[in-house]
């Protein structure tokens, strides 16, 4: 795993955070607390849409990386064609269901005081359009990762991340209507699909064996779903657990309360970009190494695990100690004391999650996506119950405790699974 790959990946993840640091306080000043909370929900739904490829992007990365390690390059074009066709159909179905949800009055489920229901409904329609594009983008990104094209991915991710925050900010100069704010997110996802597809085609051009007509293959589809089927479970359930806290807050408390929770959440959880940069690069490299040199992957994994643990320990302790100063400099008078408590609770969960993410990548690189899926199936009802009970008794701080508690359970189970497959 080259440090340059990590650096490019980290750059693509970090640049949007710098833009967010500038635009979020400005958006808070321009929008009321409720409207910003609704925009945060839109960001959450767009983020979840990446899981609508049902794990096939992850499965494609694992399969193509393995095919490259075994030099079976002629199978790659059909693998990409099969995965992209499946994700297009899935995204189209998901977008249709979201649109029907809006038609049937789903907007009324969100507690608001000043935002018209029709405005929320129109925004949901727009988000439905983005779902197929986001799902297919995850598939083409998977092929780029398998070819280690992290430079291209990082450029696009940086631009997309900038638009994610700067788009609504620019729109807010002209209007604060929710559907216009959301439209910038939708347009950026459609453009990103086109560019991801172009980057994938460029990757294939590097290998002469891949320059042949590609077609859908039922056999490859079966192989993708053998691995991707279990990844599908994780890809659907895991984002639900990650994003459900803010939607639960919006439904049970208020859209305004989402802002109080999501601000410390974004500050603290975005520190995981470093872990994401490393694990994303490590996954295809580890999958390939397990095929080429099966006696070396354990030492390779342990080296990066210890590095991540040391770095994230420092980061989380730093955030917990200096969060009041960070909030004061960033938000000024918009700072909420409850947000400080929430942020410190989440720091514990972030550290645990950073270690768990490394074990997650190792288990899936070994081809045992079934184990991570079974963990998420177990966690979903337990976490949901804990979320409800703690929220009822302790409010937003209880929600933060439920989130961090799940990360502890996740780490313990992933560590056990890694030990199991390593025997």
Residues of the chain with pLDDT under 70: 1-14, 48-54, 69-70, 227-229, 231-232, 235, 281, 283-285, 287-296, 332-335, 422-423
Identify the CA nearest to 238 among candidates 419, 46, 408, 55: 55
Separation CA 386–CA 406 (nearest Å): 9
Q: What is the pLDDT of residue 370?
A: 80
**Which H or E element spans position 135?**
helix 117-146
Separation CA 232–CA 235 (nearest Å): 5
Q: What is the pLDDT of residue 344?
A: 93
Separation CA 51–CA 42 (nearest Å): 15
Identify the CA nearest to 374 among candidates 404, 339, 413, 338: 413
Q: What is the pLDDT of residue 246?
A: 77
Kindly give, in sequence order, each residue whose CB lies less than 8 Å from that of residue 263, ignoring residues fewer than 6 positions away: 24, 327, 331, 336, 339
Separation CA 220–CA 237 (nearest Å): 24
Cα separations in angstroms, 24 against 168, 169, 257, 271, 375: 10, 8, 16, 17, 35
Separation CA 267–CA 24 (nearest Å): 11
Separation CA 305–CA 248 (nearest Å): 33
Separation CA 112–CA 38 (nearest Å): 9
Q: What is the pLDDT of residue 4?
A: 56
The structure tokens 């081809």 sit at 367
Separation CA 277–CA 281 (nearest Å): 6
Separation CA 134–CA 189 (nearest Å): 6
Burial class (CB in 10 A: 0-12, 13-18, 19+), 225: middle
Q: What is the pLDDT of residue 378?
A: 92
What DSSP designation does 39 have? Answer: H
Separation CA 81–CA 103 (nearest Å): 33
Tokens of 376: 């998420």
Q: What is the pLDDT of residue 302?
A: 84
pLDDT tens track for 21-60:
788 888 888 887 788 888 888 887 777 666 666 677 777 8
Q: What is the pLDDT of residue 330?
A: 76
Identify the CA nearest to 345 among candidates 308, 392, 394: 394
Q: What is the pLDDT of residue 328?
A: 80
Tokens of 125: 């329609």
pTM greater than 0.75: no
Q: What is the pLDDT of residue 405?
A: 94
Q: What is the pLDDT of residue 317?
A: 92
CA quadruple 244, 162, 64, 368: dihedral, nearest 10: -20
Separation CA 61–CA 200 (nearest Å): 12
What DSSP assignment string belongs to 157-213?
HHHHHHHHHHHHHHHTTT---HHHHHHHHHHHHHHHHHHHHHHHHHHHHT-GGG-S-
The answer to whether 177 and 36 are in contact (CB under 8 A) is: no
pLDDT tens track for 295-338:
667 777 888 888 889 988 998 999 899 888 888 877 766 567 78
Buried b (16+ CB within 10 A) or exposed e, 398-421: bbbbbbbbbbebbbebbeebbeee
């Amino acid at each position: 795993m080259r440090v340059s790959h990590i650096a490019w990946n980290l750059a693509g993840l970090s640049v949007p955070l710098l833009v967010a640091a500038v635009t979020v306080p400005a958006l808070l000043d321009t929008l009321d607390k409720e409207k910003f909370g609704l925009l945060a929900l839109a960001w959450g739904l767009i983020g979840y849409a990446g899981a609508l490829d049902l794990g096939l992007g992850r499965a494609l990365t694992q399969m193509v990386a393995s095919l490259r390690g075994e030099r079976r390059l002629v199978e790659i074009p059909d693998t990409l064609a099969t995965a992209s066709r499946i994700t297009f159909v899935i995204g189209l179905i998901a977008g249709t269901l979201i649109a029907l949800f809006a038609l049937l009055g789903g907007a009324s489920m969100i507690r608001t005081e000043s935002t018209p229901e029709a405005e929320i409904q129109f925004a949901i329609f727009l988000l439905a359009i983005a779902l197929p594009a986001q799902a297919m983008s995850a598939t083409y990104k998977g092929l780029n990762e398998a070819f280690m094209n992290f430079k291209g991915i990082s450029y696009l991710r940086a631009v997309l991340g900038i638009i994610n925050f700067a788009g609504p900010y620019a729109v807010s100069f002209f209007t604060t209507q929710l559907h216009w704010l959301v439209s910038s997110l939708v347009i950026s996802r459609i453009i990103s699909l086109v560019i991801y597809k172009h980057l994938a085609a460029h990757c294939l051009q590097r290998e002469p064996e891949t320059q042949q007509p590609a077609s859908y293959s039922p056999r490859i589809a079966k192989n993708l779903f053998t691995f991707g089927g279990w990844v599908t479970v994780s890809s659907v359930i895991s984002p639900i657990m990650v994003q459900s806290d803010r939607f639960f807050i919006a439904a049970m408390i208020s859209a305004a309360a989402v802002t109080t929770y999501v601000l410390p959440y974004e500050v603290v959880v975005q520190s995981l970009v470093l872990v994401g940069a490393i694990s994303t690069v490590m996954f295809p490299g580890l999958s390939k190494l397990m095929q080429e040199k099966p006696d070396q992957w354990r030492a390779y994994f342990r080296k990066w695990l210890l590095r991540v643990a040391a770095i994230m320990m420092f980061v989380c302790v730093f955030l917990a100690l200096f969060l009041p100063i960070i909030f004061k400099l960033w938000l000024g008078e918009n700072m909420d004391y409850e947000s400080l408590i929430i942020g410190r609770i989440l720091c514990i969960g972030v550290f645990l999650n950073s270690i768990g993410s490394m074990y997650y990548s190792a288990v899936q690189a070994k081809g045992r996506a079934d184990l991570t899926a079974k963990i998420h199936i177990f966690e979903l009802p337990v976490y949901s119950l804990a979320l409800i009970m703690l929220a009822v008794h302790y409010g937003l701080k209880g929600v933060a405790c439920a989130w961090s508690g799940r990360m502890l359970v996740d780490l313990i189970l992933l560590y056990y699974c890694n030990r199991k497959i390593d025997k």
